[in-house]
């Protein structure tokens, strides 16, 4: 059994904060993107709506485990056979969906900006609400089928491993080390006696969660940046106020999308690479657990920051979030004033 020190137990409470922030931010984003008339007709917001859902789902297993194991020695996926299959599947599936939807959002945004009636881009299956729903549905179905092997095979075999255990004892005043063999049961992550889910899944995760989405993001984010810079130059020669306003709106949303995908690249890539190739090397260091858990926490923090990213980078989103609560408050106050007025009138009539 591993010993967890005070600093590790203190750090273990941070994932709970990540879950709370994610639940608030992602739920708010989904409601705004789907219910507000200002956002629900934008194809990119369809992708972000699904991202908000799967980001929320992705928060639970690793974050709860990072809290539960150091404090109570509990791991969700090892509670029973159902949790072994379902919890691991949901975790992997939701992360893959989120990453690939973000990459498709970049493609959709670029095509939307370049799409002019009659042009090549206007004939591509992007840039509309319908196409966004179709692409999102296809990605979700494909990745569900891609990861369904976890639901079917994971935890079907219980592996018994024989390990060495070193005990330090004092015999007749002499400090000695005794080596004992003991059996350790692994009741999750084994498909058969020879096939284990991890670390093979770490490599798959690196490809599906990082390499493929990152490649698409880098290509289309570069194209978006170049297009935005060219549009900025064209602003100097435009006198039509309506055209200027349209370009500025497109630019604000594009900057927000670039910011979200850039945050994904920076926050998630280090953790995925280290867990795929260097985890055993890190385990040799004294404070390896703290480093690995910190990198993992940073990666999962991304999945709770879409709301805050939009708030900082998207002027339209920020104005909506600021104005609507105020309007809602004013509406309540008006209703209260009306009630007071009605009540006072009734009182006068009674008198």
- Structure letter (DSSP) for residue 284: T
pLDDT digits (tens, 9 = 90+) for 56-95: 999 999 899 988 988 888 889 888 889 999 999 999 999 9
What is the tally of structural domains in the chain? Answer: 1
Q: Is residue 118 situated within a structural domain?
A: yes
Residue 274 belongs to domain with CATH number = 1.20.1070.10
At 178 the pLDDT is 64
- Structural domain harbouring 22: 1-156+191-342
Instruction: Say how many CA atoms lie within 13 Å of 154 toward its Cβ.
Output: 25
- Structure letter (DSSP) for residue 23: H
Between strands 159-171 and 174-186, the pairing is: antiparallel
Per DSSP (E only), the strands in 82-191 are 159-171, 174-186
pLDDT digits (tens, 9 = 90+) for 309-339: 999 998 889 888 887 765 544 544 555 555 5
Q: Is residue 269 situated within a structural domain?
A: yes
At 51 the pLDDT is 97
- Torsion of Cα atoms, 96 then 18 then 31 then 214, to 10°: -30
Reduce the secondary structure of 72-85 to three states and give it as a string: HCCCHHHCCHHHHH
183 φ, ψ to 5°?
Answer: -95, 135
Q: Is residue 351 situated within a structural domain?
A: no
This prediction has a pTM of 0.83
Q: Is residue 34 situated within a structural domain?
A: yes
Which of the pair, 101 or 186, is modelled with greater confidence?
Answer: 101
Q: Is residue 177 situated within a structural domain?
A: no
Q: Is residue 69 situated within a structural domain?
A: yes
Q: Is residue 173 situated within a structural domain?
A: no
Least confident range from 122-131, 143-152, 201-210, 288-297: namely 288-297
pLDDT digits (tens, 9 = 90+) for 142-155: 999 999 999 999 98
Least confident range from 1-10, 124-133, 226-235, 319-328: namely 1-10
Q: Is residue 164 situated within a structural domain?
A: no
How many other C-beta atoms are found inside a 10 Å radius of the C-beta of residue 19?
A: 18
At 73 the pLDDT is 84
**CB 136, CB 47: distance < 8 Å:** yes
């Amino acid at each position: 059994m591993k010993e967890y020190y005070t600093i590790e137990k203190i750090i273990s409470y941070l994932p709970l904060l990540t879950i709370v922030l994610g639940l608030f931010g992602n739920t708010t984003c989904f409601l705004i993107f789907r219910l507000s008339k200002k956002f629900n007709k934008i194809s990119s917001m369809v992708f972000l709506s699904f991202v908000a859902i799967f980001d929320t789902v992705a928060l639970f297993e690793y974050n709860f485990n990072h809290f539960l194991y150091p404090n109570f020695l509990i791991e969700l996926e090892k509670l029973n056979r159902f949790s072994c299959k379902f919890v691991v599947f949901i975790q992997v599936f939701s992360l893959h969906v989120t990453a690939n939807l973000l990459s498709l959002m970049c493609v959709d945004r670029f095509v939307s900006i370049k799409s002019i009636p009659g042009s090549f881009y206007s004939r591509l299956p992007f840039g509309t609400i319908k196409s966004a729903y179709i692409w999102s549905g296809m990605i979700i179905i494909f990745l569900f089928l891609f990861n369904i092997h976890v639901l079917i095979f994971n935890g079907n075999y219980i592996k018994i491993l024989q390990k060495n255990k070193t005990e330090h004892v004092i015999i007749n005043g002499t400090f000695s080390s005794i080596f004992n063999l003991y059996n350790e049961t692994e009741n999750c992550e084994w498909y058969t006696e020879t096939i284990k889910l991890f670390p093979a899944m770490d490599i798959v995760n690196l490809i599906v969660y990082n390499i493929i989405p990152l490649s698409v993001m880098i290509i289309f984010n570069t194209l978006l940046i170049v297009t935005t810079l060219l549009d900025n130059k064209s602003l100097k020669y435009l006198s039509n106020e309506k055209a200027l306003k349209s370009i500025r709106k497109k630019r604000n949303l594009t900057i927000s999308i670039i910011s979200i995908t850039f945050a994904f690249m920076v926050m998630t890539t280090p953790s995925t690479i280290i867990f795929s190739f260097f985890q055993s090397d890190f385990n040799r260091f004294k404070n390896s657990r703290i480093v690995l858990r910190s990198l993992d926490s940073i990666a999962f923090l991304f999945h709770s920051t879409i709301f805050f990213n939009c708030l900082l980078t998207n002027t339209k989103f920020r104005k909506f979030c600021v104005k609507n609560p105020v309007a809602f408050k004013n509406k309540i106050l008006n209703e209260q004033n009306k009630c007071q007025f009605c009540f006072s009138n009734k009182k006068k009539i009674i008198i």
